[in-house]
A and B are shown apart, each in its own frame.
Chain A
Amino acid sequence: MSAAELLSDHVKDEIEHWKARFPEGRQRSAVISALHAVQHENNGFLTTELLNAVADYLELPAIHVYEVASFYSMFQTKPVGKHDVAICTNVSCMLRGADDIVEHVENKLGIKTGESTADGKIFLKKEEECLAACCGAPMMMVDHKYYENLTTEQVDKILDGLD
Chain B
Amino acid sequence: MAYEQNLVCFNTFGAKESWTFETYNKHGGYEAWNKVLAGELTPEQLIDEVKASGLRGRGGAGFPTGLKWSFMPKNFDGQKYLVVNSDESEPGTCHDREVLRGNPHALVEGMAIAAYAMGATVAYNYIRGEFIDEPVPRFENAVKEAYEAGLLGKNVKGSGIDIDIHTFVGAGAYICGEETALLESLEGKQGKPRFKPPFPANFGLYGKPTTINNTQSIASVPAIIRNGAKWFADLGPEGSGGTALFAVSGHVEKPGNYELPMGIPFKDLLEDICGGVWKGRKLKAVIPGGSSCKVLPADVIMNCTMDYTSLMDAGSSFGTGAVMVMDDTTCMVKVLRRISRFYMAESCGQCTPCREGTGWLYRMLTRITEGNGEEADLQKLVDVANKIEGHTICALGDAAAWPVQSFLKHYHHEFEYMVRNNGRSIVDAATDAAA
Question: Which residue numbers of A lie inside 8 Å of B, CB to CB?
Answer: 21, 23, 26, 28-33, 35-36, 64, 67-68, 71-75, 89-92, 94-96, 127, 129-137, 141, 144-146
Contacts of A141 in B (CB 8 A): 130
Interface readout for B89-102 with A: 1 if CB under 8 Å, 0 if not?
11111101100000
Contact, CB under 8 Å: B130 / A132? yes
Interface readout for B127-154 with A: 1 if CB under 8 Å, 0 if not?
0111111100000000000000000000
B399 to chain A, nearest CB (A): 13
Contact, CB under 8 Å: A130 / B91? yes
B79 within 8 A of A: yes
Contact, CB under 8 Å: B249 / A134? yes
B202 within 8 A of A: no
Nearest 3 A/B pairs, CB to CB: A72-B171, A73-B172, A28-B188
Contact, CB under 8 Å: A23 / B206? yes
Which residue in A36, A71, A73, A96 is a CB contact (below 8 Å) of B169?
A36
Contact, CB under 8 Å: A130 / B171? no
B59 to chain A, nearest CB (A): 13
B190 within 8 A of A: yes
B248 within 8 A of A: yes
Contacts of A71 in B (CB 8 A): 173, 190-191
B209 to chain A, nearest CB (A): 14
Name 29 A/B residue pairs within 8 A (Cβ), A-sorted. A21-B167, A28-B188, A29-B186, A29-B187, A30-B188, A32-B171, A33-B169, A36-B129, A36-B169, A68-B171, A72-B173, A73-B173, A74-B130, A74-B172, A75-B172, A91-B324, A91-B338, A91-B339, A95-B251, A95-B335, A129-B174, A130-B93, A130-B174, A132-B93, A132-B94, A134-B91, A134-B322, A135-B257, A144-B130
Interface hits, B162-206 → A, CB 8 Å: 166-174, 185-191, 206
Which residue in A73, A131, A144 is a CB contact (below 8 Å) of B171?
A73
- Residue on A with the closest CB to B256? A135
Alpha-carbon distance A30/B1, docked complex (angstroms) = 51
- In addition to A134-B91, A135-B257, 17 A-B residue pairs with Cβ atoms within 8 Å of each other are A32-B129, A35-B171, A64-B188, A64-B189, A75-B171, A90-B91, A91-B287, A91-B335, A92-B92, A129-B342, A130-B91, A132-B94, A132-B130, A134-B92, A134-B249, A135-B94, A137-B249
- For A21, A131, A135, A136, the residue with the greatest tally of chain B CB atoms inside 10 Å of its CB is A135
Alpha-carbon distance A130/B172, docked complex (angstroms) = 10
Contacts of B48 in A (CB 8 A): none
Contact, CB under 8 Å: A129 / B190? no
Interface readout for B319-347 with A: 1 if CB under 8 Å, 0 if not?
00010101000100001001101100110
Contacts of A23 in B (CB 8 A): 79, 206
B237 within 8 A of A: no
Contact, CB under 8 Å: A28 / B171? no
Contact, CB under 8 Å: A134 / B338? no
B191 to chain A, nearest CB (A): 7
Alpha-carbon distance A78/B416, docked complex (angstroms) = 42
Contacts of A137 in B (CB 8 A): 249-250, 255
Contact, CB under 8 Å: B170 / A134? no
Which residue in A21, A32, A91, A136 is a CB contact (below 8 Å) of B170?
A32
Contact, CB under 8 Å: A144 / B250? no
A129 touching B91 in the complex, CB below 8 Å, given contacts A32-B188, A96-B250, A137-B255: yes
